[in-house]
Amino acid sequence: MSAVERVSSPGRAAPADSASVAPSPRAGGTADDDILLQVTGLTVARKDAPSVHIVDDVSFTLRRGEAMGLAGESGCGKTTTALAVLGLLPGGLRRVSGELVFHGGGRARPLHRLGGAAMRRIRWASISMIFQGAMNALDPVKTVGSQIAEAITLHEPKVGRTAVSRRVGELLDQVGVPAKRSVYYPHEFSGGQKQRIMIALALACRPELVIGDEPTTALDVITQAQILDLLGELRRELGLSLLLITHDLAVLAQACETIAVMYAGQIVETGSVDTVYRDPQHPYTARLLDLLGAHDAPGTLPKPIPGNQPRPNARPSGCRFRDRCTFATDRCAAEAPDLRVIGEGLLPHAARCHFAPWPDGAVDRPDRSDRLDGQEVAP
């Protein structure tokens, strides 16, 4: 049975007037000594069109030592969210509302209020990023060792040249690249080795949080698994927190404990990886899991999601997924759903769907004849 088939019949959904619950700690945050990064109500818009929101009211909490995945199709706002945290939004975008509070170094720092100089002191020293596409991120005319050394000397100018060189070698060894190759240029490494060097660069100043933006894109399956294993080992050894951005749910299943699924600029589902994968409560999440083919019979192709993600300036009213959802009703067009908590606990499960929680025991779509609010389920 496919993941989408495990989303139960709308005829057995929660009552239409069931109260929405405030976002959970994973979806909105709470006061806690374990919190490292708290994002609340983040909205990013185009400067030339302030009403066009690329990221819209995004909230989540990342705890110390936690690996959290941010998943969704290209263009859903994942990378823009990460760039907003780092203060690296492209020139055509700006944060219009929301708070980003980083609790690293034993104190809370409101990133959304810091100027350029203050953010430069935080970037790489406290929060670093593994950028997508190592070949494009590494300077082709500088040796890899000099690029790692530059990050160290910029943030720790009192560290001597010998100590910097020693640390560069240790970092390369740590990620599985021989230290003697620090004098090589990026083009002299394979794709997987360049990605390892990018990880070494991200760890150069011993940050508390590493953001990985599609760090395994364009790598073969074996190399991808090696990179994910490496990130897991480093996280355990160094006590890092990881925010991993990807469209590949299989990657998140291997590397993360918690997940937030984004669609059209919003978080539509969040919770522990185990809970969300076993019991998706938003139709979009269920369809993404379908694409893994994990629940289909061998030899069958996964079912594609019909249609396309709406552009930021042409999003539908109500639920943003309704035009692609087989369960959509008139209510979905008239009323935008809130992100509601479904399951309690340390890792609450929340979904942005009028009909969550969906009961267990879904039947095949072709056999489903249930009705909701007097309407037939959409074909």
Residue ranges and CATH numbers for the domains of the chain are 4-16+64-83+114-126+208-376 (3.40.50.300), 134-206 (no CATH)
pLDDT digits (tens, 9 = 90+) for 183-239: 999 999 998 999 999 999 999 999 999 999 998 877 888 888 898 999 999 999 999
The answer to whether 353 touches 10, Cβ cutoff 8 Å, is no
CA–CA–CA angle 218, 303, 277 (5° rounding): 75
Identity at 133, one-letter amino acid code: G
> Which of 120, 40, 41, 109 has its CA nearest to residue 87?
120
The answer to whether 266 touches 352, Cβ cutoff 8 Å, is yes
DSSP state of 54: E
Q: Is 239 left (phi over 0), alpha (psi -120 to 50) or beta?
A: left
343: confidence class by pLDDT, cuts 50, 70, 90: confident
296: confidence class by pLDDT, cuts 50, 70, 90: low
Is the predicted pLDDT of residue 11 greater than 80, yes or no? no
293: confidence class by pLDDT, cuts 50, 70, 90: low
pLDDT digits (tens, 9 = 90+) for 235-270: 999 999 999 999 888 889 989 999 999 999 999 999
Residue 306, preceding peptide bond in cis (omega within 30° of 0): no
pTM: 0.84
